[in-house]
């Protein structure tokens, strides 16, 4: 008996999954940028929140890396496209976070759709975690914007205090 795999991953699914490793690291960079923005303003509740987000993105990258290894695929790392942005307001950062998560949700849905087309049930199953995760990520980002809209710039310190006491998965 040879140890050949009977599940063969389609090339295009492999390419998308490998690209997603990069996009998860890129997401960590986006949040690191936010972290730096808030650290510079001494808003340590916000910076803690975005540090947690950055670390979570790295854990997402690991999930893709581990899945590719499990499927006997070679992980190819590529440069991370990112330049630090100059943000002019807290609102701009919060909206940037939501837009980025919406972009990532679209990427996950694209891979899912391709996996569905090629009857790659294993990848669909693997991606189920990320479909749920992206709902949570978008809800958190939208909640922060809603709260900011409610309290305004003068309520940022109050939000900062709340975020200081928040756990990784809840923007209260």
The closest alpha carbon to 145, from 101, 107, 103, belongs to 101
Q: Which is nearer to Fe ion, 33 or 137 (CB)?
A: 137
Is 60 assigned to a binding site?
yes
Binding segment toward Fe ion, per CB under 5 A, in 11-19, 56-64, 72-80, 87-95: 56-64
Is 134 assigned to a binding site?
yes
Q: Is residue 104 classed exposed, middle or buried when 0-12, 13-18 and 19+ CB atoms within 10 A define those classes? A: buried
Q: How far is 129 from 112, CA to CA, in rounded Å?
A: 11
Q: How far is 153 from 4, CA to CA, in rounded Å?
A: 60
Q: Say whether residue 33 binds Fe ion (CB under 5 A).
A: no
Q: Which phi and psi angles does 16 have, rounded to 5°?
A: -65, -40
Applying CB under 5 A, among 50, 71, 93, 137 the residue interacting with Fe ion is 137
Q: Which residue in this structure is represented by tokens 């008996």?
A: 1
What is the token pair recorded at 134? Answer: 């992206």
Q: Which is nearer to Fe ion, 14 or 31 (CB)?
A: 31
Applying CB under 5 A, among 48, 51, 60, 147 the residue interacting with Fe ion is 60
Binding segment toward Fe ion, per CB under 5 A, in 8-16, 118-126, 131-139, 144-152: 131-139
Closest separation between CB of residue 1 and Fe ion, Å?
39
Residue ranges in contact with Fe ion by CB under 5 A: 24, 27, 57, 60, 137
């Amino acid at each position: 008996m040879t140890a050949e795999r009977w599940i063969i991953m389609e090339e295009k699914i492999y390419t998308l999954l490998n690209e997603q490793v990069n996009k998860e690291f890129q997401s960590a960079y986006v949040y690191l940028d936010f972290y730096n923005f808030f650290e510079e303003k001494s808003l340590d509740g916000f910076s803690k929140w975005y540090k947690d987000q950055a670390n979570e993105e790295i854990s997402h990258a690991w999930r893709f890396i581990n899945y590719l290894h499990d499927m006997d695929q070679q992980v190819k790392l590529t440069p991370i496209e990112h330049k630090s942005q100059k943000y002019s307001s807290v609102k701009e950062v919060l909206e940037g976070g939501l837009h980025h998560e919406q972009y990532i949700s679209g990427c996950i849905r694209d891979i899912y759709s391709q996996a569905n087309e090629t009857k790659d049930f294993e990848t669909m199953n693997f991606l189920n975690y990320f479909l749920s995760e992206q709902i949570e990520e978008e809800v958190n980002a939208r909640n922060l914007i809603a709260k900011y809209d409610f309290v305004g710039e003068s309520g940022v310190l109050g939000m900062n205090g709340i975020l200081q006491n928040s756990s990784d998965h809840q923007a209260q």
